[in-house]
Structure 1
Amino acid sequence: MKNNKAYIIFTRIPTPGKCKTRLIPTYSGQEASDLQGDLLTDLLVSVVDLPAAGIDVFVAYSDEQGPTRFLNSLPAGVQAFAQHGANIGERMNNAMATVFAAGYQEVVLTGSDLPELTAQTIRRAFAVMKEIVIGPSADGGYYLIGAQRGVDLVPLFTNPIDWGQSTVLQSTLRAITRHDVQLLDAQVDVDTPADLERVKQHLDRHNQQLQQWLTEEK
């Protein structure tokens, strides 16, 4: 552990038919998998210098396929570990608990399918965090969640929450009313073809791989 803050990218290993399935059949399983990989690559490039700013970077990956090639592709300095748990709530809870157990005092977790997400967003999340920080997503869920050491993570992830539904954010906020919660600006996570159309209007220079993917799929 180099710093006392940690940022976790929560992702699937890009595998045809296993990720971004809501883009199918508009796009093939291979195209959806390539998009997953390109979004992750853009995000990693954006945040790879965070350790110099006091924030260590982790990748929590699904390991339904052999992870060796995936792990070898990660930038130097990015640490990685496998997700575990029966559902997405348990897996996020366990990912944050794993990093807290390593001694970190503040932890932020996001997905990997966020074209608008940059290192600036992550730094902002740590800057405003008092107990819990959440970045709402446009679909009624959230793209970012963070907490300080000592916050009980169980209500965040194990209350009855219909994961993947538009009620996730509100259900989460109801479960943590006793905490000081800071909200960031909303962002779009890419799950559907409509999401892709929406983010096309806001691409920036940090979206190089995504822009290349969009050009190839025209």
Structure 2
Amino acid sequence: MKNKKAYIIFTRIPTPNKCKTRLTPTYTGQEASALQADLLADLLVSVAKLPEKGIDILLAYSDEQEPTQFLASLPDYVTAFPQQGSNIGMRMANAFAEAFHRGYQQVVLTGSDLPQLTAATICQSFELLKEIVIGPSVDGGYYLIGAQQGIDLTPLFTAEIDWGHSTVLRETLRQVTGHDVQLLPAQVDVDVPTDLTTVKQQLDSHNQRLHQWFKEEQK
């Protein structure tokens, strides 16, 4: 560890029929898996310079398949570790705990399915972070959450929140009313086919792999 700030990418290993399943049957399991891989690849390129700005990049991966090949494909500026926990809340809680255990003082976590996410957004999240920072997603959830060391998010992640529903952000904000919470601008995370329709109209220069994915789908 050379920096005091950590950005965690929380991701599934791209695997047909085990990731982005809400995109089916509009897209096949193979197409959805390829999309997952391309979104992650674009994100890794986009945030590659963060360590130079004092932000280390960690990646917490889940257990869709044996990870050796996936880990070998990651850039050398990424430190990877497996997710631990029986549900997404506990897995996020444990990812934060892992980063704080490694000595980081500020930690921000996002998913990997965020075409609009750039290094500038991650830097902004750390600039805003006093106790907790949250990036709302347009579907009523959130795409980013961050905390200062000493802020225990475990009660939030273990609360009775309907993960994946449009009330996630509202329920989350209710859980953290006693803290200084800063909000980022909203972004789209790709969960369902209509999300792809939205982001296709807003592709930027950092979306090279996603742009290619759309081209392949048109053939």
Instruction: State the identity as a percent.
Output: 71
Is 1:136 aligned with 2:136?
A: yes
Tell me what 1:109 maps to.
109
Alignment of 1:58-77 (within 5 A): 58-77=58-77
Q: What code does the residue aligned with 1:161 have?
A: I
Alignment of 1:62-211 (within 5 A): 62-211=62-211
Residues 155, 176 of structure 1: 8 Å contact kept:
no
Normalized against structure 2, the TM-score is what? 0.98
1:153 Cα offset (Å): 1.2
Residues 39, 210 of structure 1: 8 Å contact kept:
yes
Q: What code does the residue aligned with 1:209 have?
A: R
Helix, strand or coil at the partner of 1:159:
coil
1:191 Cα offset (Å): 0.7
Alignment partners' CA distance in 2, 1:119 and 1:74: 18
1:64 Cα offset (Å): 2.9
Alignment partners' CA distance in 1, 2:155 and 2:203: 35
Normalized against structure 1, the TM-score is what? 0.99
1:201 Cα offset (Å): 1.3
Helix, strand or coil at the partner of 2:120:
helix
1:155 Cα offset (Å): 2.5
- For the aligned residue pairs, the C-alpha RMSD in angstroms reads 0.6
Q: What code does the residue aligned with 2:190 have?
A: V
Residues 36, 113 of structure 2: 8 Å contact kept:
yes
Alignment partners' CA distance in 2, 1:214 and 1:40: 15
Residues 190, 196 of structure 1: 8 Å contact kept:
yes
Residues 6, 99 of structure 2: 8 Å contact kept:
yes
Tell me what 1:16 maps to.
16
Moved over 4 A (4+): none
Helix, strand or coil at the partner of 2:216:
helix
Query: Could you give the per-residue CA deviations for residues 155-175 of structure 1, whole angstroms, max 9, x where no partner exists?
Result: 221111011111110111000
Residues 15, 64 of structure 2: 8 Å contact kept:
no
Helix, strand or coil at the partner of 1:51:
helix
Alignment partners' CA distance in 1, 2:139 and 2:152: 26
1:129 Cα offset (Å): 0.6
Alignment partners' CA distance in 1, 2:41 and 2:47: 10
1:25 Cα offset (Å): 0.8
Alignment partners' CA distance in 1, 2:99 and 2:179: 21
Alignment partners' CA distance in 2, 1:96 and 1:203: 31
Query: Could you give the per-residue CA deviations for residues 66-97 of structure 1, whole angstroms, max 9, x where no partner exists?
Result: 10110011111200000010110000000011
Alignment partners' CA distance in 2, 1:192 and 1:2: 38
Helix, strand or coil at the partner of 1:202:
coil
Q: What code does the residue aligned with 2:192 have?
A: T
Q: Count the aligned residue pairs.
A: 218
Tell me what 1:28 maps to.
28
1:152 Cα offset (Å): 1.4
Structure 2 residue runs of 5 or longer lacking an equivalent are: none
